[in-house]
Structure 1
Amino acid sequence: MKGPEFLKYINPVLTTLQSNGGAGEVTDVIEQVIDKLGITESELEETISNGQSRVRNQIQWARFYLFKAGLIDNAQRGIWRLTNEGLDKKLSDDDVYKLFKGVQDSVKKETPSQPKKIEPRFENTPTEDEEHSVGLINIIQNLPAAGFEKLCKRLLTEIGINEITITGGSGDQGIDGKGIVKLNDVVSLNIVFQCKRYKETVSPHHVRDFRGAMQGRGEKGLIITTGRFTKEAKNEANRDGVTPIELIDGDRLVELFEKYRLGLKPVTVFEIEQEFFRTFN
């Protein structure tokens, strides 16, 4: 296919959203695209200069161009949703390249008075939506271990977990904290959690070790990481016949910080709608 490498993800993102009924949470859509294309763990471990997954960055660029082409809307953070045009759109490889060139041409027309910018190197550049995500994860990864545990406590409190206690220490056996999830006025669950301030991946043995540590200490387990979980780790977390463990990776962590406005301020950005002014010519 002609053009930047990220163009190969345009159709998988589009068709994944179409098969989902037109919308999906960002992390779920990206995982579905990765599964659909059979992307390997070694490919997922490749990073760009800022440490972000190269594959995930490319998928984000595909979404960005679908948005600029009017096939995805940008109305709700954390959700990728097709427009009416995108719901039934079919794209050949030639159509994808035309979409790419069309978006680039429209951007140039919108900013005629500005000096010409060098085209971004898509393989090393985060999209506009990702810039704060990369910065947020970098800040969290550089916190001390105790600071990350306190931050996780704050997040879980915002989510609605009660009576949270940080238990991390030399004798914690892999349990960094515990709390209570109230299901209703009379029923509650004890939850234990582990905080992994990782840049690398979390493997199945980490999940198994945590499950062993939580036996007799909680009905529900949660692992929070600034990195990501391998496919095998996700399978282990939901393996039949054992206590399921909830997983929050770096991408999901960013979504939760956005949702609860923790350390982030929303910014309104205006874009010119050229189509509106054409009716006055």
Structure 2
Amino acid sequence: MSIPDYQSLMLPVLEIGASGESSVPLASDAIAVRFGLTNDEREQMLPSGKQRVLHNRLHWAKFYLTKAGLLESPKRGRFVITDAGRRVLASPPTELNTKYLLAIPAFRDFYRGEEEAGAADPVMEAEPPAATPEEVVDAAYKALQAALRDELLGRILQNSPAFFEQLIVELLVAMGYGGSRLNAAEQLGKSGDGGVDGVINEDVLGLDRVYVQAKRHAPGSTIGRPEIQAFTGSLVGLGASKGVFVTTSAFSAQAIDFVSRIPQRVVLINGKRLTELMVEHGVGVRISRIVEFKRLDEDFFSEDE
């Protein structure tokens, strides 16, 4: 069974609070058993990698129930049911969710923020999302990143082979290879069939070298094993042990399997990975907007005994 969304966890969390004082870590064990979650599901992390999905959803279920006055926090990190919560459990609704909580004035005032009383907000009138706020933010971020990568690949293919050469130079330098842009350009500046081929220093001092080949192909085409074999043959001829093959398209399964079986260390970078690296290292992109989220600083409020 998949991990329940935070609204589906509201009633179980309220029932846990009715059995005595509890916490999110303690509740997670009971919830995992109740819903038959696997170990992988218990340990699954948010895309940010900073919190378990189950803990995040339990936190928001508990938080919303607390804002509705159905739970209270007797001390840091703990929760327990209130008299109002017991009344709800005495006659439980068919669904205990955000829509139900919005009928409670205290929660409605919190959920709508500082809007004037009685002012209709079309966003708040819509069905509340099943995902937690962090999940909504993470999903929006992933969607924007995917759109950006797709746009990057499209622009690369629209530009000239010479531009593609310069792009590879910029990316490798941004990743710490080749020393300076001038040095990298000198070594990777050989024009070919829409790509670049050459040897580049792995570090600023040139203690080791990497052979680079890049192919600018339209999406849908595939780099097969024969091209990778030819590339590794060039490595052997140069006495090199490391190589990077970059393409705007993709690699066949046979090509990927081949590089896993050879003694040389060859890294394959397809179009998707190329655009990911461009975004990660700030090549061809710039910051459009910064959204900063703050959280409570527990250390600030800790008093020495």
Q: Does 1:144 align with 2:112?
A: no
- The residue aligned with 2:244 is 222
CA distance in 2, matches of 1:151, 1:215: 27
The correspondence of residues 1-281 of structure 1 with structure 2, limited to 5 A, is 22=44, 72-74=46-48, 81=49, 83-86=51-54, 112-113=121-122, 127-162=143-178, 163-164=183-184, 165-169=187-191, 176-182=197-203, 188-198=207-217, 199-200=219-220, 201-217=222-238, 218-240=240-262, 242-266=263-287, 267-269=289-291
**TM-score computed with the length of structure 1 as normaliser:** 0.50
Unaligned runs of 5+ in 2: 1-36, 58-96, 99-110, 113-119, 127-141, 294-305
Whether contact under 8 Å (1:176, 1:193) holds in the other structure is: yes
CA distance in 2, matches of 1:16, 1:128: 31
1:231 Cα deviation from its structure 2 partner: 2.3
Whether contact under 8 Å (2:162, 2:191) holds in the other structure is: no
The number of aligned residues is 179
SS at match of 2:243: strand
1:155 Cα deviation from its structure 2 partner: 0.6
**TM-score computed with the length of structure 2 as normaliser:** 0.47
Whether contact under 8 Å (1:17, 1:82) holds in the other structure is: no
- Summarize deviations over 1:117-141 as a string: whole Å, max 9, x none: xxxxxxxxx9333111110111112
Whether contact under 8 Å (1:175, 1:210) holds in the other structure is: no
Structure possessing the higher radius of gyration over alpha carbons: 2
- Summarize deviations over 1:73-120 as a string: whole Å, max 9, x none: 44xxxxxx373234799xxxxxxxxxxxx99xxxxx99952699xxxx
Superposition CA RMSD, Å: 4.3
Q: Which has the higher contact order (CA 8 A, sep 6+)?
A: 1
1:224 Cα deviation from its structure 2 partner: 0.9
Whether contact under 8 Å (2:190, 2:198) holds in the other structure is: yes
More strand by share: 1
- Summarize deviations over 1:42-72 as a string: whole Å, max 9, x none: xxxxxxxxxxxxxxxxxxxxxxxxxxxxx62
CA 1:269–1:175 in structure 2 vs 1: closer, same or farther (change >3 Å)?
A: closer
